[in-house]
Structures are given as C-alpha cells and as structure tokens.
Amino acid sequence: MVMEYQIVNLVASANLNATLDLYNLAVSVPNIEYEPEQFPGAILKLKEPKVSMLLFKNGKVICSGASSEEQIEQGIRKASKLIHEIQPSVKVLDKVAYTVVNLVATANLHQTLDLFKTAMSLDNVEYEPEQFPGAILRITEPKITLLLFKNGKVICAGAKREDLLRQGLEKAQKLIRSIKASSPAFEEEEIEELPAKEAKKAVAVKVKAKEPAVKKASSPKNQKQARKAAKAARPKAKAGKKKSRK
C-alpha cells in the first residue's frame, strides 16, 4: 500500500508564441515585477488561482505554485488575457499546451525514523544534521529526491508525472522498511545529548564503522625488514639534529 500524499506545488512550462515587451507590461500591470538587472524575466503573481508566472521576452512562461493541473491551465489562460490587453499581438489561449517539469508533494510514513541508521544502511541517503535536520534520499528510477524527517514526514520533488510520484514513494517506503533493526554504538538521542565536539566524533565513528575493514596481510620477512628500516632511520635522524646544532 502506497502512503497517502498531497501535491503542494506543480511547476509547468508553456509558450505564448509571441515576443513580450516586459518593460511595458511591468509599467501597465500592477502585479508584474520586472528588474532586468537582477533577473531576465518578469514575475506575474495571480490571486485566483494563487500561482506565480515567470514571463520571458521570447514568450516562454513558467508557472509555479499550482496544486493541480487545472490551476495551471487557469493561470496560463488568465496571464495570456492580461498580456493581450496590453499587447494585442499576443493571442488569448483557449487551449493551453504546457509541460509539467516538477511536482512537489508531502507525505507521512506515520512512524519515527532513525535517520542515522537510515543513512548508514542505505548508500543513496545523505544526512548532515549540523547543516539540515532531514536526510536526503535520492532514487534513480524514477528520478526523484525525497527529504526524510525524524517524525516520519516526507517531502518528494523531481517527479514529472503523478504515477512516477507514486512509484517513487512506494520504492522509498520499501527501502525504509527493509532496514533491519541493529544496535549501533550510539543512538541518535545519545548523540544529541553529547557536547558538540563529542557528538561530531560519535557520528564520525558511526560513518567509519560503515566502511568495510581492510586487513593488510604482511609476511614475517616484510615485518623484519620494516623493523630494520625503522631502526636504521633513528641514528640518521639524531645525526641530522646534531649537525643542525653545529
């Protein structure tokens, strides 16, 4: 069973098939911001539906903030009407052609996550609690990124279709459930209670413990040669010191 999720942001691109006069639009429409020295596009903010549009001179439009594809269509159509009032050469779009480029959703695993254990058990998880409280899980197929939090909340980004979102969440859920219970040297709560320097050492010990130990096989002959080399180096070092003193 796939965990329940809620789509909170859809990002889509479209094209008005016309050259836009961004300066004139910014002067004429109150809810358009245009600062070409900082960013080449103009920002159009709509209240209904509540979405933001990036408008570019070549007619390209990027819509973000929509929670459904219906809102994307409404937003792009409304933007084309506003622009048409200032630039009659820009046609009002009846049929909106767009491409979803990113889909952001929130979900909940309804369980407390041990992020340290998760990061140590899975190769595709990054966790740096000093920089960010969540762990980053990257899935290659489908290509999505998930933010995992200790309270079980998940933020998923990168999917371009809802079916890919469901696949990614299902895969993440299986990976997390596959982590077997173990007894690490330090539990997360114990590390949090330690002073900053000691906590850092504890994390380093855990990460080091994850790496496979490599045993170097050395023969008695090699050991004997190494001892001789070390012994031979000592008097030379002393002689060097005496020489430097003179």
Could you please report the per-residue DSSP string of 150-197?
Answer: TTSEEEEEEESSHHHHHHHHHHHHHHHHTPPP---SS-HHHHHHS-HH
| pLDDT per residue as tens, the chain (246 positions) | 667 899 999 999 999 999 999 999 999 999 999 999 999 999 999 999 999 999 999 999 999 999 999 999 999 999 999 999 999 999 998 888 999 999 999 999 888 999 999 999 998 999 999 999 999 999 999 999 999 999 999 999 999 999 999 999 999 998 988 885 443 444 444 444 444 444 444 444 344 444 443 333 344 444 444 454 444 444 443 444 444 444
Domains assigned to the chain: 10-101 (3.30.310.10), 109-209 (3.30.310.10)
Predicted TM-score of the model (pTM): 0.67
Distances (CA, A) of 125 to 15, 111, 115, 139, 148: 37, 18, 9, 9, 10
